[in-house]
Structure formats: C-alpha cells, structure tokens
C-alpha cells in the first residue's frame, strides 16, 4: 500500500499536527495574559470588539486562500476569543481581590460526582487555577447552610434553565440568606439516556432522574410506552443507582460527560425538548467581591415595593433614565404576606459605579425593602459577528 493511503501513518501525522496546534493555542493564551497585564496597567476594558472584527475578517480571508470555509474559521476563532476573554477576566479578578487567592477551594453543589452542578463547579474553577475540594449536598438548603456555617468556601446553585425557566426554590432561598453572589456560569445541558450495560431502548422499563431533567425531556418521555419513572434527589444519585443495578431494563437521564464517571454510556443522545438547553448557575460565598473596572459586571438585587400602583415601574424608570440595562426581572411571593411580591432584578452594571449607586439610592427612597445580592463578572461572552460580505466574498 502506498504510504499516502496507510491509515496508521496518516493518523500519526494528524496526531503530530494536533500536538503542534495545542502548543500554538497555549502560546496564544499566554500572550493574551500579557495583554491583560497591559490592560490592567492602562485600565482599558478587556473586550475590544473592533479588534476582534478586524482579526476575524483577516483570518477569514487568509483561510480562504488556504481552502478553509469562512464559517469554520469564524466559529474556531470565536471559541478562541471567548477563552481569551474569560481567562483575562479571571486574571483581572485575582488582581481586584488579592485577599481571596487560595490554591484550594471547597465547593458545595447538588448531588455527587457527575451532576450538572458538579460539572459546572469544575468548569468554573478550572479557569481559576484552583484545586477543588468537592462537597456533594442533597438539597439547595444544605448547600447554603454549608457555606453560611463556614464549612465550605462556595456554593454552586442552578438558578434558571433555558427550557424549564427559573428555579423558584433557589430564588426563595436568596431572600433569607446573607450570602453574596460572586460568580456565574452557563453550563450546556445535554441530556442523554444512559445505561450501565449494553441494551436497547425497547427493553427499558425504568428511568431514574432528577425532576428538572424529567421536565426538560417530556417530549421524549411521552413517546416511551410502559416506562416507570423514578424521581431521584439529583442526576448523580440517579447515575449511581443505575451503576449499582447493572440492569438492562434501567436507564437514567444525565450528561454523557457525567455518565463516564459512573461507567455509563449513552443509549440515546440529545433527548431534551429544546436542542439548545443551558442552565445558568450562580456561585455564592460569605463575602462579596469587587469586580475589576475593565470587566463587564452584573449586579443582582431584590426589592419589595408594597401594593402601590406603578411602584415597580417607577423603579424601572430610574434604571432606564440612568441608561442601566436590566437583564432579568423575576417576581416571587413574600412568605406570610399574601399577594405581595418580591422582585429580583439583575442589571448590567458594576456596584461600585457612581451611576448604579445613584440609582440604588433613588430606588431605596421609594421601596419598602431592598437588598443587594451581589456583583460579579458577566461570564457570557457574546460572539463578535462579522459582516456577511466578509463571509460570502
């Protein structure tokens, strides 16, 4: 066989190239860290979308000469830039909060190894170069108690999901805690039907899962006939049960990545109602943090207005007048005060900024109750788009 067609030889060459690519990615990453140091010095924002757009257009054109598709080049570089921005943000945050640099952090989350909260915790701290001491909990309440009592440093809590909406239990718990929100992370939720042994969908009689994944996969589950549903406290508990049973009639709903930790494999992939399914998690700690000026920040607050006509609108008008963007508004009943609501508001502004301080002062004067839940870096990096003329030229 000619050397050009020898599969092993071709794969060896690919492996070598991939290694070189990784080395180049690492070199690029360390250069962007130098950029962050320079920006810290000059107090310039991390994000420069004009530079990103110029860079993307140049790379699309260079890629075309090499026979690379414009969409492919754009998507690869959007991922690289997202990583670059998040890494720079994480670095600037270490400068803004020198008192909380620790090599090991302890984190409480729902479930055990493999739960979505476990995966979110690991993803969040992987960028912050910290080793994690994991503390799996059975309820959101337990997570908050572990942080409040000082037993762990942080708690990771899911707050909303793109298909099943807000997680009310977490919103309610935030009313009664002194903890601060210090971070967020959006985790893609890729529900699969996982099994411990080789089997077929037609043989499955029982499916174990946490309530949230059940809701999010209702279309797939409705189509399965004669299947018993067993609710579990967490996805990780469900996976542990399936591993212990080693039963061809048992399946669980969870992520493929989490399932690997329990030696489970995917019988069916992408079973969620919505193909794009993401959960947003918040990280809570006992003390608030400072957010560096160069980083886009979000501030979360709750307020109660009483039952005055237009009282909420008056608060929102203050935000509008100051040019502060509100990115979330949620309402929850106040325990013991029938028909009164507590409003949860997320705004895209740094708590230290004069404009937000002024807005908070004005809102305080027209509300019965206001509490700042925390200020933290915005982790969602919206990709810079390139003009379609550059892609189609």
**Does residue number 386 form part of the binding site for ligand PRE (CB under 6 A)?**
no
Q: Quick check: helix, strand or coil at residue 72?
A: helix
Rounded-to-integer distance, Cα 225 and Cα 316, Å: 49
Cβ distance to ligand PRE smaller for residue 31 or 329: 31
Tell me the closest approach of the beta carbon of residue 193 to ligand PRE, in angstroms. 38
Cβ distance to ligand PRE smaller for residue 40 or 271: 40
Partners of residue 328 on adjacent β-strands: 346
**Does residue number 250 form part of the binding site for ligand PRE (CB under 6 A)?**
no
Instruction: State which of positions 333-372 bind ligand PRE (CB under 6 A).
Output: none
Tell me the closest approach of the beta carbon of residue 34 to ligand PRE, in angstroms. 10
Cβ distance to ligand PRE smaller for residue 49 or 246: 49
Rounded-to-integer distance, Cα 319 and Cα 353, Å: 13
| Pairing outcome for strands 337-347 and 326-334 | antiparallel
**Interacting span for ligand PRE (CB under 6 A) from 51-59, 150-158, 190-198, 370-378:** 51-59
Tell me the closest approach of the beta carbon of residue 31 to ligand PRE, in angstroms. 8
Cβ distance to ligand PRE smaller for residue 53 or 177: 53
Rounded-to-integer distance, Cα 67 and Cα 328, Å: 43
**In which residue are the tokens 């980083």 written?**
295
Among positions 52, 184, 237, 346, the unique one binding ligand PRE when judged by CB under 6 A = 52
**Interacting span for ligand PRE (CB under 6 A) from 44-52, 61-69, 167-175, 219-227:** 44-52
Rounded-to-integer distance, Cα 312 and Cα 329, Å: 11
**Helix axis angle, 70-96 to 7-42, nearest 10°:** 40
Cβ distance to ligand PRE smaller for residue 82 or 341: 82
For 84-131, give the DSSP string.
HHHHHHHHHHHHH-GGG--SEEEEEEESSTTSHHHHHHHHHHHTTT-E
**Number of residues located near ligand PRE, criterion CB under 6 A:** 12
Cβ distance to ligand PRE smaller for residue 81 or 179: 81
**Does residue number 48 form part of the binding site for ligand PRE (CB under 6 A)?**
yes
Instruction: State which of positions 2-41 bind ligand PRE (CB under 6 A).
Output: 32, 35
Tell me the closest approach of the beta carbon of residue 20 to ligand PRE, in angstroms. 19
Q: Quick check: helix, strand or coil at residue 292?
A: coil
Tell me the closest approach of the beta carbon of residue 92 to ligand PRE, in angstroms. 11
**In which residue are the tokens 């109602």 written?**
273
The response to whether 153 counts as a known ligand-binding position is: no
Binding-residue pattern over the window 79 to 118 for ligand PRE, x denoting contact by CB under 6 A: --x--xx--x------------------------------
Rounded-to-integer distance, Cα 381 and Cα 374, Å: 20
- Residue 300: DSSP 8-state: E
Partners of residue 347 on adjacent β-strands: 299, 326
Token digits of residue 142: 């337990």
Q: Quick check: helix, strand or coil at residue 5?
A: helix
Cβ distance to ligand PRE smaller for residue 52 or 160: 52
Rounded-to-integer distance, Cα 234 and Cα 237, Å: 5
Which residues are annotated as part of the binding site? 11, 28, 39, 48, 52, 84, 88
Binding interface with ligand PRE (CB under 6 A): 32, 35, 46-48, 51-52, 55, 81, 84-85, 88
Which residues are annotated as part of the binding site for substrate? 11, 28, 39, 48, 52, 84, 88
């Amino acid at each position: 066989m000619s050397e050009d067609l020898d599969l092993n030889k071709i794969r060896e060459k690919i492996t070598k190239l991939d290694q070189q690519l990784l080395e180049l990615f690492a070199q690029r990453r360390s250069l962007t860290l130098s950029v962050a140091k320079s920006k810290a010095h000059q107090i310039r924002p991390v994000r420069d979308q004009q530079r990103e757009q110029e860079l993307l257009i140049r790379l699309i054109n260079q890629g075309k000469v090499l026979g690379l598709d414009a969409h492919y080049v754009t998507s690869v570089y959007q991922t690289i830039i997202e990583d670059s921005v998040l890494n720079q943000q994480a670095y600037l945050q270490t400068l803004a909060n020198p008192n909380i640099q620790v090599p090991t952090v302890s984190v409480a989350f729902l479930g055990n190894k493999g739960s979505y909260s476990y995966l979110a915790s690991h993803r969040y701290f992987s960028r912050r170069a910290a080793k994690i001491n994991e503390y799996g909990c059975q309820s959101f309440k337990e997570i908050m108690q572990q942080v409040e009592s000082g037993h762990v440093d942080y708690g990771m809590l899911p707050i909303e999901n793109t298909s099943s909406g807000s997680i009310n239990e977490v919103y309610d718990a935030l009313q009664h805690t002194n903890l601060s929100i210090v971070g967020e992370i959006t985790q893609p939720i890729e529900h699969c039907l996982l099994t411990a042994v080789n089997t077929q969908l037609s043989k499955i009689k029982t499916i174990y899962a946490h309530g949230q994944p059940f809701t999010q996969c209702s279309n797939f589950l409705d189509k399965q006939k004669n299947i018993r549903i067993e609710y579990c406290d967490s996805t990780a508990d469900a996976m542990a049960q399936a591993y212990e049973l080693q039963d061809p009639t048992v399946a669980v709903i969870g992520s493929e990545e989490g399932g690997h930790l329990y030696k489970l494999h995917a019988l069916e992939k992408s079973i969620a109602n919505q193909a794009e399914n993401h959960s947003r998690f918040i990280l809570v700690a006992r003390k608030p943090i400072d957010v560096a000026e160069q980083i886009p920040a979000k501030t979360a607050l709750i307020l109660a207005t009483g039952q005055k006509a237009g009282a909420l609108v008056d608060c929102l008008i203050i935000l509008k007048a100051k040019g502060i963007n509100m990115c979330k508004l949620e309402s929850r009943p106040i325990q013991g005060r029938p028909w009164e609501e507590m409003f949860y508001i997320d705004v895209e502004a740094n708590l230290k900024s004069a404009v937000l301080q002024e807005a908070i002062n004005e809102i305080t004067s027209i509300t019965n109750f206001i509490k700042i839940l925390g200020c933290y870096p915005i982790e969602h990096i919206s990709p810079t788009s390139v003009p379609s003329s550059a892609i189609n030229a």
